[in-house]
Amino acid sequence: MKENEAKSKILKSKYVPTAEFYSQIIDSLQDYSILTLDNEFIINSWSSGSEKIFGYETEEIIGEHFDIIFTDEDKKSGVPKVEIDTSLKEGRAVDNRWHICKDGSKFYAYGLVFPLKGLKGEMLGYVKILRDLTARRKQEDAIKKYVKELEELNNHKENILAIVSHDLRSPLSGIIGAAKYLSSNFEKMPNNEIKEMLDLLYKSSKDELKMLDYLVEWARIKYATEVFSPKKIKLLSYVQKVFDVLNDNAQLKTINLHSEIAENESVFADGKMLLSILQNIVSNAIKHSKPDGKITVSAKIKEDKIIVEIKDNGIGMSKEIQEKLFTPQMNVLASAREKDKGAGIGLLLVKGFLEKNDGEIWVESAEGVGSSFYFTLPINEPLGKIDSADKIEFDESA
């Protein structure tokens, strides 16, 4: 009898969790975003973890369609609908992808979607759970990039040695040979021939010095990391500096230098490198533009980067040249050097500077129509970047 009474007291004393209790548990999961949708895919609940991760307050997001948290690319590809369809078909949908926060920044998350059904099996809506994996993803990407940079570093060493051997050694041998001939035959050579040979030696020496300067800069961006000093800078001021420097060259061919850069557009980059990037590309555009041409510098924002376009209506280039333009191959450099001393190295220098600043470069061109050089730079300081001196740590618990 006493035993039954004891059991009865225990049963009566058991705590029955309330809806508020479960809500408190959900809100305590700060590394997770938990939200529910109605049958029309409208958000009708939003956890405190969601507020922390996405930046939307609950009252801001309730009533919005759930595709608000997806990237434009995923929305265009129909990813939100695919998630819902998969969850209905298989009982759940799982994926890892980038999502968009209120301020436009992105975070990488493990996502789970499953249908929410009532006691009688009726559809009440859906539950979506996201776990923030941004730090882990960026660390993985940084490690991959670091490994790739190490491989490229080794290739650059070999390329520099090859260029020094091929593009510097051979012309210097010619200069030495011409100087020796001039020294041995000076007394019996006509003055006009002496002057012609001296002019040639002077020009060749200047070209070799220019090539050597390019090589020093190219090596510097790969090995002398202490000179790299990126910061937030105004893009327009640097474009204007380059226009001021190159305006006389442009005027000789009556070429119009035009900027469409907005005053408030900024990038996170090393100022000296940005100046060199712009000057190299605009200078090349002037050289390959027709008289009375136009060179336009414009920019547009795409997610966390700015895409700069430098467009000319010059002679353009073939597909074959475009494919090899940023590759340090000896035949390409030699060909470029015959037509325009240092041009091949100049674009390799630009590519190296952009890679150092977390950017990239590509070109679109048509022969006889003109070329557009595009390059990207981050708007803000990139996260998760690893330099050679940084320690790489793995989170084995994730």
d(CA 100, CA 11): 48
Per-residue pLDDT band at 96 (split at 50, 70, 90): confident
Per-residue pLDDT band at 254 (split at 50, 70, 90): very high
Residue 383: what pLDDT?
65
Per-residue pLDDT band at 178 (split at 50, 70, 90): confident
Q: Who contacts 84 (Cβ-Cβ below 8 Å, separation ≥6)?
A: 41, 93, 113, 126
Q: How far is CA 100 from CA 146, 190, 241, 280, 303, in A?
A: 26, 76, 36, 36, 10
Residue 15: what pLDDT?
44
Residue 24: what pLDDT?
54
Q: How far is CA 22 from CA 26, 27, 97, in A?
A: 6, 9, 28
Identify the residue with better confidence: 135 or 346. 346
Residue 388: what pLDDT?
41
Residue 215: what pLDDT?
67
Nearest to 229 by CA among 275, 179, 196, 281: 275
- Mean pLDDT along residues 100-117: 86
pLDDT tens-place string over residues 65-78: 989 999 999 999 99
**Where does residue 148 rank: exposed (0-12), middle (13-18), buried (19+ CB within 10 A)?**
exposed
Residue 16: what pLDDT?
44
Fold of 2-132: Beta-Lactamase (3.30.450)
Residue 168: what pLDDT?
64
Overall size of the chain counted in residues: 398
pLDDT tens-place string over residues 42-61: 998 888 888 888 889 988 99
| One-letter amino acid of 39 | N
Per-residue pLDDT band at 143 (split at 50, 70, 90): low
d(CA 69, CA 108): 12
Identify the residue with better confidence: 138 or 362. 362
Name the one residue in this structure whose structure tokens are 């690319």: 73
d(CA 106, CA 212): 42
For residue 363, pLDDT over 90 is answered with yes
For residue 138, pLDDT over 80 is answered with no
d(CA 79, CA 323): 33
Residue 236: what pLDDT?
95
Mean pLDDT is highest, among 113-122, 198-207, 258-267, for 258-267
Residue 330: what pLDDT?
41
**Where does residue 204 rank: exposed (0-12), middle (13-18), buried (19+ CB within 10 A)?**
middle
Q: How confident is the prediction for the chain on average, in pLDDT?
A: 78
Residue 305: what pLDDT?
94
Classify 138-378 by CATH class: alpha beta
Per-residue pLDDT band at 336 (split at 50, 70, 90): very low
- Mean pLDDT along residues 31-52: 85
* Domain residue ranges in the chain: 2-132, 138-378
Per-residue pLDDT band at 62 (split at 50, 70, 90): very high
For residue 171, pLDDT over 80 is answered with no
Of all residues in the chain, what percent carry a pLDDT higher than 90?
26
Residue 312: what pLDDT?
94
d(CA 223, CA 217): 10
- Mean pLDDT along residues 364-371: 91
Identify the residue with better confidence: 340 or 61. 61
Per-residue pLDDT band at 394 (split at 50, 70, 90): very low
Residue 3: what pLDDT?
57
d(CA 36, CA 50): 11
For residue 9, pLDDT over 70 is answered with no
d(CA 102, CA 99): 10
pLDDT tens-place string over residues 190-245: 888 888 888 888 888 877 777 777 666 666 655 555 567 899 999 999 999 999 98
Residue 131: what pLDDT?
85
Residue 266: what pLDDT?
94
- Mean pLDDT along residues 373-391: 70
